[in-house]
Structures are given as C-alpha cells and as structure tokens.
C-alpha cells in the first residue's frame, strides 16, 4: 500500500474513509444521543446534575473498555470478512436495540440499559473502523492526512448532531429521537459489502497487519514504549472538567439561556475545529508530527479561558468559535501520533485504547467538573475553566517522551527506521 499507484488510489482512499468516518461518527450514541437523553432525564424524569453526569459516566462503560473491542477486532475474523464482518453483524444488532428503545416507556433503567446495549454494538463497529483506518494510514504513509480526514468527519457530524440535539430535545418525543437514530444507523450496512481495491487489495498481507496470538500480542503491546506517552497525551487533551454537565447547567440555570443554546455551543465548538484540522492536513506533509504537536498544544492551552468571562448565551456562542479555532490542530496531531504509534497487527487495540481515553477522560472530567462546579454557586464554573487550562498545560512535558523514530518524518515520507523496527517486532514478537 505504501507504494500504491498514485493520485487515483489516494482519492479512492480518501473517499472511502471520508464516507465511513462521516457515517460511523454521526451515529455514535455518545454524541447524537447524549444531549437528548440528558434532557429526557432532566425534563421528563427530573434528574439532578450529579445524577445526569453519573448516567453519562455509566453509559460510557463500553467505551472505557475499548481496548477489549479493539483486541477482539485484531484477533477475530467474523464471517471470514475481517473488518467488513463487524459491520454485517453489529449494525443490525444496534438497529434492534434502538427499535426497542423507541417502543419502550421512558424510564431511567430503560434509558440506561438501552444506551449500554447500543454502545456495545456500536463499539464493535467503531473498532473495525478505527483499526482499518490506522492500518491503511500506516501502510500508505498517510497517518496525518487520515487523521485530518477522520477529524473532519468527526467534528462535522458531531457539530451537526449537537445543533440537531437541541432541536431534538425541545421538539421530538423520545420515540421519534430513537427512530431517527435508527434510520441513520442503517446507513452503516453498506460497509459490510463495499470492498474497494484501493483499500483492501493486500491490506491484511502487509507486515503492519501481522499479529501473533492473544498472549503474544499482549506482550508486544505492553513492551511497545511509544504507546504510554501517546495514551497519556490523548487522555489529558480530552480531560475537560466543566465542558459538559457544568456547562449545561451554567448556561441554562445561571445565565438563563434556552436549552438549545447548550447544543448550539457544542455545535459551534465542534464545527470550528474544521478550519485548523484542514490546515493540519496540509501541514502534516511539510512538517513532522512532533513539531506540529508541540505547536498545536501551545496554541490550545488557553482555549477555554474566554469562557470565564461570559455573561450571556450569545457571548458563549462567540467563545465557542474561538475555542474551536484554537483547539483543532491539537485534535488532529493527537490522532496522528496515535496512528503512528500502533504496533503491527494491533491497530484496533491501540486506537480503541485511545477512544477509551477519550470517553473515560470526557466522562470522568464531567464528574469532576460537576463537583468543582458545586463548590461555589458564584465561581464554580470559573474554577472549571482553571482546571481545564492546567490539564492542557500538563501535556507539554509529556511530548519529549514520545520515541523520536515514530515522529521523525512528515506524511508521505518513507521512514526506514520505523519499517525495520516493524519487521524486527514481527520476526521476534515475544
């Protein structure tokens, strides 16, 4: 794949993974159903802020265990179709769960059970998507561009989902919400059957795709020194105590903004990640990711500080634009280094660990942020902003710990040292 025939194959790869990223991310229960279910809890079941943040923490359990779904993806070949087999099995299961939620009465236990089951089915699909993206990114020397692409088609649907979720929370019944998500989930079925040659021709024969057995893979993963700083950086970058439940209560209760403002804030926040992510797709072909990561984190450290000074919902929307513009580069850089750090044959495992750090840090940050928010009726949210800024700053001393060989070359440039290490690891996996 690294020597594939030029621009035609590159365009086919970008089309395939762009569409897959779009559809996989748009139906993520943790995004599309997050705000609607939180308002079901708040407005229908009259749950408190701590109970809602606890619900969000519990429904993220399958995502926290992402490494297990990733390991299954790396070891199990369902229906003899590899990654496409996961789409054939688990998309229909997700559809069945959403149908059950649509036809059931809205209760706390019902929402909790349905979200857990839907997230389990989704996690198998997401593991196949993440593993295949990382594998092809390594083989085609496109880690930065595929990182940018996956981020674009993460933030675009997520931003749209957050805008839609405010409308959904105010205008649609729970049944209508779940039926709409069901219809969107059904579109994922196409990836169980679509097999473009530019993606799948010899994809699983490359040294980057070769694993061993369960115990051998676990040993290789634990001995792979690159994963530790990479996982820590991704964890810190996504740990934002205050940007979810405290933000929701701050905007609606303290500033008396409408329920839709919170969804609009998150929508703008995510959509304005797009310009810097597009810029990263260009810069990654000119500069190695180590420099890009350092620059992007320095730019991103102060991004939430404007939120400490807002006094209205409209000001919050303006701050959301600035937050997105300052944070987009680092989002792409964090995924770029994660793809590069994947051990051979363990792309699904490491990328799902990264996904787990996203979910765990987001939910744990939400719980911590809710506690910080409750410390002071007047300044609680400002304390959350300080906590977010300090957390981002802690990334800077971790960057030098990343092994230099995985970040030594720009996108598209051969890395003979890395290729030699891959062959040595497969030749002597234990």
Q: What is the pLDDT averaged over residues 151-155?
A: 85
CA distances from 13 to 19, 42, 61, 184, 419 (A): 10, 43, 32, 23, 22
Looking at residue 223, its pLDDT comes to 86
Q: For residues 93 and 218, which has the higher predicted lDDT (pLDDT)? A: 93
- 420 occurs within a structural domain: no
Looking at residue 390, its pLDDT comes to 93
Residue 185 has pLDDT above 60, yes or no: yes
Q: Where are the beta strands (DSSP E) in 108-241?
A: none
- 294 occurs within a structural domain: yes
The helix (H) or strand (E) run that includes residue 76 is none
Distance CA 426, CA 344 (A): 7
Q: What is the pLDDT averaged over residues 35-62?
A: 81
Looking at residue 428, its pLDDT comes to 53
Residues in the chain: 430
Q: What is the pLDDT averaged over residues 27-55?
A: 80
Most confident by average pLDDT, 29-33, 82-86, 418-422: 82-86
Q: Which residue has the tokens 């940018």?
A: 148
| Whole-number average pLDDT of the chain | 86
Residue 371 has pLDDT above 50, yes or no: yes
Residue 221 has pLDDT above 90, yes or no: no
Q: Which two tokens stand for residue 272?
A: 């304005």
Looking at residue 314, its pLDDT comes to 85
Looking at residue 430, its pLDDT comes to 45
CA distances from 370 to 51, 79, 245 (A): 10, 45, 7
Residue 364: which domain range? Answer: 19-415
Percent of the chain with pLDDT over 90: 37
Lowest mean pLDDT among 74-88, 113-127, 253-267: 253-267
Most confident by average pLDDT, 149-153, 218-222, 280-284, 359-363: 280-284
What torsion do the CA atoms of 127, 130, 132, 135 make, to the nearest 10 degrees?
-120
Looking at residue 250, its pLDDT comes to 83
- 2 occurs within a structural domain: no
Looking at residue 240, its pLDDT comes to 86
User: CA triplet 117, 58, 115: central angle to 5 degrees?
Assistant: 25
Residue 32 has pLDDT above 80, yes or no: no
Q: Per-residue confidence at 130, pLDDT binned at 50, 70, 90?
A: very high
Q: Is 313 helix (H, G, I), strand (E, B) or coil?
A: helix
Residue 150 has pLDDT above 80, yes or no: yes
Helices (H) and strands (E) in the chain, counts: 21, 0
Distance CA 96, CA 130 (A): 23
Q: What one-character-per-residue DSSP string does 210-258 give?
A: ----HHHHHHHHHH-TTHHHHHHHHHHHH--TTTTHHHHHIIIIIS---
- 14 occurs within a structural domain: no
What torsion do the CA atoms of 335, 336, 342, 347 make, to the nearest 10 degrees?
60
Q: Is 277 helix (H, G, I), strand (E, B) or coil?
A: helix
pLDDT tens digits, one per residue of 274-290: 999 999 999 999 999 99
Asked whether 259 and 407 are in contact (CB, 8 A), the reply is no
- 370 occurs within a structural domain: yes
Q: What is the pLDDT averaged over residues 238-246?
A: 84
Looking at residue 423, its pLDDT comes to 65
- 98 occurs within a structural domain: yes
Asked whether 126 and 24 are in contact (CB, 8 A), the reply is yes
Q: What is the pLDDT averaged over residues 327-353?
A: 91
The helix (H) or strand (E) run that includes residue 295 is helix 289-300
Looking at residue 426, its pLDDT comes to 66
Query: Left, alpha or beta for 172 (phi > 0: left; psi -120 to 50: alpha)?
Result: beta
Q: Which two tokens stand for residue 428?
A: 């002597």
Residue 421 has pLDDT above 80, yes or no: no
- 304 occurs within a structural domain: yes
- 382 occurs within a structural domain: yes
Distance CA 89, CA 161 (A): 25
The helix (H) or strand (E) run that includes residue 304 is none
Looking at residue 97, its pLDDT comes to 95
Q: Is 390 helix (H, G, I), strand (E, B) or coil?
A: helix
Distance CA 258, CA 313 (A): 8
Counted domains in the chain: 1
Asked whether 208 and 135 are in contact (CB, 8 A), the reply is yes
Quote the crossing angle between the two packed helices 289-300 and 227-238, to the nearest 10°: 20
pTM of the complete model beyond 0.75: yes
Lowest mean pLDDT among 138-147, 189-198, 415-424: 415-424
Task: Tell me the CATH number at 40.
Answer: 1.20.1250.20
Looking at residue 429, its pLDDT comes to 46
């Amino acid at each position: 794949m690294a020597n594939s025939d030029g621009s035609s194959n590159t365009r086919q790869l970008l089309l395939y993974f762009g569409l897959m990223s779009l559809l996989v991310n748009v139906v993520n229960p943790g995004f599309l159903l997050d705000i609607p279910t939180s308002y079901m809890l708040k407005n229908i079941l009259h749950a408190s802020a701590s109970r809602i943040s606890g619900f969000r923490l519990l429904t993220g359990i399958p995502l926290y265990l992402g490494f297990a779904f990733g390991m299954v993806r790396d070891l199990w070949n369902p229906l003899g179709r590899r990654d496409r087999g996961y789409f054939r099995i688990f998309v229909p299961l997700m559809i069945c769960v959403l149908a059950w939620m649509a036809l059931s009465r809205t209760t706390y236990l019902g929402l909790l059970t349905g979200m857990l089951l839907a997230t389990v089915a989704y996690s198998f699909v997401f593991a196949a998507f993440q593993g295949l993206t990382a594998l092809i990114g390594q083989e085609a020397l496109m880690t930065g561009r595929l990182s940018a692409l996956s981020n674009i088609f993460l933030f675009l649907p997520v931003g749209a989902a957050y805008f839609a979720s405010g409308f959904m929370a105010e205008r649609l019944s729970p049944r209508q919400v779940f039926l709409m998500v069901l219809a969107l989930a059904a579109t994922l079925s196409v990836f169980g059957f679509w097999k473009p040659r530019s993606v799948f021709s010899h994809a699983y024969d490359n040294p980057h795709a070769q694993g061993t057995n369960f115990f051998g893979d676990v040993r290789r993963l634990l001995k792979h020194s690159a994963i530790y700083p990479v996982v820590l950086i991704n964890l810190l970058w996504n740990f934002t105590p205050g940007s979810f439940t405290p933000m929701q209560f701050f905007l609606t209760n303290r500033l008396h903004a409408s329920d839709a403002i919170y969804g609009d804030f998150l929508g703008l926040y995510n959509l304005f990640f797009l310009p810097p992510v597009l810029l990263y797709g260009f810069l990654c072909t000119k500069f190695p990711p180590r420099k890009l990561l350092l620059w992007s984190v320095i730019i991103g450290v102060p991004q939430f500080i404007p939120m400490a000074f807002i006094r209205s919902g409209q000001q919050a929307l303006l701050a959301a634009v600035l937050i997105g513009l300052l944070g987009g580069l680092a989002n792409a850089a964090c995924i770029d280094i994660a793809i590069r750090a994947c051990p051979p044959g363990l792309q699904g495992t490491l990328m799902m660990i990264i996904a787990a750090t996203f979910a765990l840090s987001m939910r744990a940050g939400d719980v911590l942020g809710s506690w910080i928010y409750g410390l002071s009726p007047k300044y609680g949210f400002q304390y959350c902003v300080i906590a977010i800024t300090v957390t981002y700053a802690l990334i800077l001393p971790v960057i030098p710990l990343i092994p230099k060989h995985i970040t030594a070359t720009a996108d598209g440039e051969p890395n003979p040292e890395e290729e030699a290490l891959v062959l040595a690891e497969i030749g002597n996996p234990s």
